[in-house]
Amino acid sequence: MARDQVDLLVDARWLLPMEPAGEVLERHSVAVRAGRICALLSWQEADERFEARERLRLERHALIPGLVNLHTHAAMTLLRGLADDLPLMEWLQEHIWPAEMRFVTPEFVHDGTLLACAEMIQGGITCFNDMYFFPEAAARAVIKAGMRATLGMIVVDFPTPYAADPDDYLSKGLALRDQHRANALLSFCMAPHAPYTVSDKSFEKMLTYAEQIQVPIHVHLHETEEEIRESLRQHGVRPLERLRRLGLLGPGLVAVHMVHLTAEEMELTAHANASVAHCPSSNLKLASGFAPIAQLVERGVNVGLGTDGAASNNRLDLFQEMRTAALLAKAVSGRADALPAHRALEMATLNGARALGLDKAIGSLVPGKRADMVAVDLGPLELSPCYDPRSHLVYAAGREHVSHVWVEGRPLLQDRQFTTLDAKELAARASRWGRRIADARADIRPGGN
């Protein structure tokens, strides 16, 4: 009897499909045809049913869906380590924003985003939700890398090298979306930066567009206590209530950070079916606080994981975020079972896809979905023995154990080697930018020329 033809068969020691929740399949294969998963089946069944153009046997690996980085500023890899150990607003106003005004150009964004793509691919991230200037340059980098991305149509209420005013930001973002609507790897969202940088008028305009073109709204929210105090002073209400009154609190909202929340605000978020992008390492590094993730999850809020930008983390590493999120949830709630490993994995995969409206395409390994997959080697000495791959992926393994990455069945990383990017070229670009930025900062320091 003739066997069905497929493009790719990946045989893994463990397969974690994410749907049903917590399931682990042993010695199973994923069959891929035309970029989509067409079957999950045992090794023996795969032998009997399929003839594959390419077959990969991974005897000691876990195969998982590609990780989804729900919040980052990819191009800021070029500002990594520029100004550390500072409070958020001092870090932004005195260091990051001035550096951006001076250096951020399409070339900066392209090179910084390409560097970020490389780091994320090496760490098993196949999709990221970005918020930054010159998104057209980011799009070029994403296409070159072969990744999947949701690009933010960013708006702030002040001029930058990218745009002159809110209408200019919007028109440029919408034009970019129209240009790339046919690209299955690119999607878009409205990206008002934060309540303290965006006016009511701009929020209302972005909501209108978001509803018309059916895209999420991606915004920093309740990150610091200072942000809340300033909102009370200027608007008479806390930021979440301000957005609720403007109509933004709904299923399309991706609220980033959500550190400082009352019980009522958590209930409102849950009732609205909004999503939260939890960035534990950034929150810790900027001393923003501890987000009440266990309480949000208990209320049914969809929580995904983000790295934030490399300038405030300083890693684009979702393995680190999974582990940190799980440990923090336990410590903050006082319950060891507050965020078990399989839930942390869901936050890094299916929940992130759901927040971006991409869960029908990615986020789990089920027939019909796109073949965005990651193989993690659980065989090294430091990971032996392995009783539960879910536990190992969250508490023991790291991005250095990622061996293979596919997006729509196309390999981006094979045996830890890039297939679409040139590591030496990227390192050279990063080095050039580093020298340029360091020299310019030296010139403006006391005693400089």
Q: Name the domain boundary from 334, 355, 376.
A: 355
H-run or E-run covering 37? strand 36-42
- Do 188 and 336 belong to one domain? yes
- Do 339 and 379 belong to one domain? no
- Do 166 and 116 belong to one domain? yes
Closest residue by Cα to residue 128 from 257, 10, 218: 218
Quick check: 65 and 350 in contact, CB under 8 A?
Answer: yes
- Do 182 and 247 belong to one domain? yes
Closest residue by Cα to residue 235 from 269, 275, 273, 195: 195
Residue 440 lies in a domain: no
Given pLDDT bands bounded at 50, 70 and 90, which one contains residue 97? confident
- Do 51 and 157 belong to one domain? no
Given pLDDT bands bounded at 50, 70 and 90, which one contains residue 448? very low
- Do 271 and 219 belong to one domain? yes
Quick check: 148 and 405 in contact, CB under 8 A?
Answer: no
Distance CA 281, CA 328 (A): 10
Residue 430 lies in a domain: no
Residue 274 tokens, joined: 């909004």
The pLDDT tens digits of the residues spanning 177-194 come to: 999 999 999 999 999 999
Residue 401 lies in a domain: yes
Q: For the residues of 194-262, what is the DSSP string, one character each?
A: -TTTS-HHHHHHHHHHHHHHT--EEEEES--HHHHHHHHHHHSS-HHHHHHHHT--STTEEEEE--S--
- Do 218 and 333 belong to one domain? yes
CB within 8 Å of 145: residues ≥ 6 apart: 114, 117, 118, 121, 412, 420, 421
Residue 429 lies in a domain: no
- Do 179 and 256 belong to one domain? yes
The pLDDT tens digits of the residues spanning 54-87 come to: 999 999 999 999 999 999 999 999 999 988 998 8
CB within 8 Å of 330: residues ≥ 6 apart: 336, 337, 338, 339
The pLDDT tens digits of the residues spanning 344-390 come to: 999 999 999 999 999 999 999 999 999 999 999 999 999 999 999 99
The answer on pLDDT for 92 being more than 90 is no
The answer on pLDDT for 449 being more than 70 is no
Q: DSSP alpha helices (H): ranges in 18-134? A: 43-49, 88-91, 97-103, 106-122
- Higher model confidence: residue 383 or residue 98? 383
For residues 256-261, give the mean pLDDT. 98
Residue 425 lies in a domain: no
Phi, psi of 335 (to 5 degrees): -130, 125
**Domain limits for position 11:** 4-65+364-418
- Do 310 and 376 belong to one domain? no
Residue 279 lies in a domain: yes
Q: Name the domain boundary from 355, 380, 398.
A: 355
**Polymer length of the chain:** 449
Q: DSSP alpha helices (H): ranges in 338-388? A: 341-348, 350-355
Closest residue by Cα to residue 154 from 106, 189, 200, 115: 189
Residues in a beta bridge with 208 = none
Question: Which pLDDT value is given to residue 447?
Answer: 39
- Do 154 and 243 belong to one domain? yes
- Do 297 and 391 belong to one domain? no
Whether this prediction's pTM lies above 0.95 is answered by: yes
Question: Which pLDDT value is given to residue 446?
Answer: 40
Angular region, 236: left φ>0, alpha ψ -120 to 50, beta rest: left
Residue 84 lies in a domain: yes
Residue 432 lies in a domain: no
Question: What value does the mean pLDDT of the chain take?
Answer: 96
Question: What CATH number has the domain bearing residue 306?
Answer: 3.20.20.140
- Do 200 and 225 belong to one domain? yes
The answer on pLDDT for 39 being more than 70 is yes
Question: What CATH number has the domain bearing residue 378?
Answer: 2.30.40.10
Structural domains in the chain (count): 2
Q: Which of 37-41, 44-48, 99-103, 131-135 has the lowest mean pLDDT?
A: 99-103
- Peptide bond before residue 195 is cis, with ω within 30 degrees of 0: no
